[in-house]
Amino acid sequence: MSRIIILAIIGCLSIIPIGWTQQFGYVSPIGPANWSTLNPDWAICGNGNRQSPINIPTESSSYWPQLSLEIFNGDSLLSGTLMNNEHSVEYAIDNTVTDINRPYLRATYESASFQDGDYVLQQFHFHWGSVDSRGSENQFNGMSSVAEVHFVCRNTLFNSSQAGNEANEFLVLGVLLRVCENSDFYPVFGPNNSFLDQIMSDPDEVPVSLRLSGIYNCGGPCTDTNSYYTFQGSFTTPPCSEAVAWWVAEDMLCISQAQLDMLRSQNVTSAGPRLTDNYRPIQELNQRTILTNTNAATTTLMNMSLSLFLLLLALLFV
Ligand SMILES: [Zn+2]
């Protein structure tokens, strides 16, 4: 029971009324298509208008060079728990670690449509596919990657007793993963991935100490080197609250083939079924604006200007 309470406080992804036992999953009849009807408090999973994840059309995103996401306290040594929680593999920072000792992300937009803020890291978790053609939740130009990690952070203006319904209550940093020989995730998965091996089904868990900078290489401000896409969205699991400022990194992180195979071998419970393809299908973008500090948008503008110039030049000589 204590673990359920801790998850409700720090996990932020499963704000389930006390006494409610209905679970969600990724396969019918409790799969994403039915989440909105499994619980009256999850209706927004079906009728929301800024749901996540989304497909990010990079060239039609709005270039906004003022955007920055700075990471502070990345070198703090964190105590936490790696767990299989039936829906994902998650690393949750212990409640005993105070905010001042945790990494925090400073989101700067300098835009009237978005609010700047500081967000403290609570946990991070993974989504993956059973085959290489799928697994990430967010997509770039209709393309998925094998997996995605979500760093879930809470706005310092809000506390854990609030319901998670304000538009900027959370920030989730999403980073798509690719398979490389040298993984970025050895600090959390352990030597020879032994920690991952110990949590093959819910409620397995193992204590792990790590530094965020050992995984996401930003010991200090990293605004000069990191490019992002940002937009308003929701949690990608019930209750699908539209309370998330999303930042999706342009660059990918590395996971090893062995680690990906071990994620694919996870079970929901010791009796099964297999926990894999734990990603929600992409949702409608609707009227949302996507801002980016990458130069993809400017490159597109330059290409369009060049095309127009060449067209005018051609007309002059006709
Ligand atoms: Zn997630």
Residue 314: pLDDT over 70? no
Residue 81: pLDDT over 70? yes
Residue 236 C-alpha to ligand 1 middle, in angstroms? 6
Residue 138 C-alpha to ligand 1 middle, in angstroms? 10
Residue 113 C-alpha to ligand 1 middle, in angstroms? 24
Residue 314 C-alpha to ligand 1 middle, in angstroms? 51
Residue 22 C-alpha to ligand 1 middle, in angstroms? 19
Torsion sign (Cα): 136, 138, 140, 141: positive
Residue 110 C-alpha to ligand 1 middle, in angstroms? 27
d(CA 232, CA 96): 30
The whole-number pLDDT of residue 158 equals 87
Residue 177: pLDDT over 80? yes
Q: What is the pLDDT of residues 185-212, one digit of tens each?
A: 999 999 999 999 999 888 999 999 999 9
User: Are 298 and 292 a contacting pair, CB within 8 Å?
Assistant: no
The whole-number pLDDT of residue 317 equals 57
Rounded to the nearest 5°, which phi and psi values hold at 28?
-55, 145
The whole-number pLDDT of residue 221 equals 46
Neighbours of ion ligand 1 (CB under 5 A): 150
**Complete DSSP assignment for the chain:** -HHHHHIIIII-S----TT------SSTTSSGGGHHHH-GGGTHHHH-SS-S--EE-GGGSEE-TT-EEEEESTTPEEEEEEEE-SS-EEEEE-TTS-GGGS-EEEEE---TTS--EEEEEEEEEEEE-SSTT---SSEETTB--SEEEEEEEEETTS-TTS-S-STTSEEEEEEEEEE-SS-S-HHHH-GGGHHHHT-SEET-EEEEEEEGGGTSS-SS--TTT--EEEEEE--SSTT--S-EEEEEESSPEEE-HHHHHHHHT-EEETT--B-----PPP---TT---EE-SSHHHHHHHHHHHHHHHHHHHHHT-
d(CA 245, CA 203): 30
The whole-number pLDDT of residue 316 equals 56
The domain made up of 2-293 is a member of CATH 3.10.200.10: yes
The whole-number pLDDT of residue 163 equals 61
The whole-number pLDDT of residue 308 equals 53
The whole-number pLDDT of residue 216 equals 87
Q: What is the pLDDT of residues 4-63, one digit of tens each?
A: 444 444 444 444 333 344 599 999 999 999 999 999 999 999 999 999 999 999 999 999
pLDDT more than 90, % of the chain: 73
Whole-number average pLDDT of the chain: 86
C-alpha distances out from residue 137 to 205, 226, 277, 307, Å: 24, 20, 10, 35
Residue 79 C-alpha to ligand 1 middle, in angstroms? 21
Residue 306 C-alpha to ligand 1 middle, in angstroms? 40
Q: What is the pLDDT of residues 154-167, one digit of tens each?
A: 999 987 766 667 88
The whole-number pLDDT of residue 22 equals 53
**Letter for the amino acid at 30?**
I
pLDDT more than 70, % of the chain: 81
Residue 240 C-alpha to ligand 1 middle, in angstroms? 11
d(CA 45, CA 241): 8
Residue 105 C-alpha to ligand 1 middle, in angstroms? 17
Task: Specify whether the backbone of 115 is left (phi greater than 0), alpha (psi in -120 to 50) or beta.
Answer: beta
Residue 64 C-alpha to ligand 1 middle, in angstroms? 26
Residue 308 C-alpha to ligand 1 middle, in angstroms? 42
Residue 101 C-alpha to ligand 1 middle, in angstroms? 23
Residue 120: pLDDT over 90? yes
The whole-number pLDDT of residue 48 equals 97
The whole-number pLDDT of residue 259 equals 97
pLDDT band at 225 (very low <50, low <70, confident <90, very high): low
Q: What is the pLDDT of residues 234-286, one digit of tens each?
A: 999 999 999 999 999 999 999 999 999 999 999 998 887 899 999 999 999 99
Residue 237 C-alpha to ligand 1 middle, in angstroms? 7
